[in-house]
Amino acid sequence: MPTGASSPSGGPRFDRPVMDAFTRTYWGAAAEGRLLLRRCSGCGRAHHYPREGCPYCWSEDVRWEPASGAATLYTWSVVHRNDLPPFGDRLPYTAAVVELAEGPRMMTEIVDCAADALRVGMRLRVDFRTRTADPPFTVPVFRPC
């Protein structure tokens, strides 16, 4: 998902996701503690990040559906330096790609787990982090089961 909203000065912002008319459903669900995916009615495959059309068969018959919140760890990297807000305030952190139970992979952050305890295939569960900003927003993160 795009992350660079415009700042009041017109320049890019990287401290919050872009929320537009299409992604508002996704971000609204996250604020309620629900993770959504998009599923294609044409080929039946789920995908993430949310797109209006299917990235596999190009069908436009795609709908929102709730994800179970279950995932496995695919890969990760511990980030020790990042000068962009809000990341500098919580260094080090674990950036990761998880494979959702429904099939798609998504980029996220692993929380409440020491880096040396991480293992490929580790079972994870979605959680949500709310950032108090103007306006506030909530993002999905994952933690060990």
pLDDT digits (tens, 9 = 90+) for 25-72: 999 999 999 999 999 999 999 999 999 999 999 999 999 999 999 999
pLDDT value for 133? 73
For residues 122 and 110, what is the distance between their CA atoms, to the nearest angstrom? 11
pLDDT digits (tens, 9 = 90+) for 90-115: 899 999 999 999 999 999 999 999 99
Q: How far is CA 83 from the centre of its chain?
A: 20
pLDDT value for 12? 55
10 conformational bin, left if phi > 0, alpha if psi -120 to 50, beta if neither: left
For residues 96 and 107, what is the distance between their CA atoms, to the nearest angstrom? 6
Per-residue tokens: 112: 């409440």
The sign one gets for the Cα dihedral 37, 78, 32, 137 is negative
Per-domain boundaries in the chain? 16-144
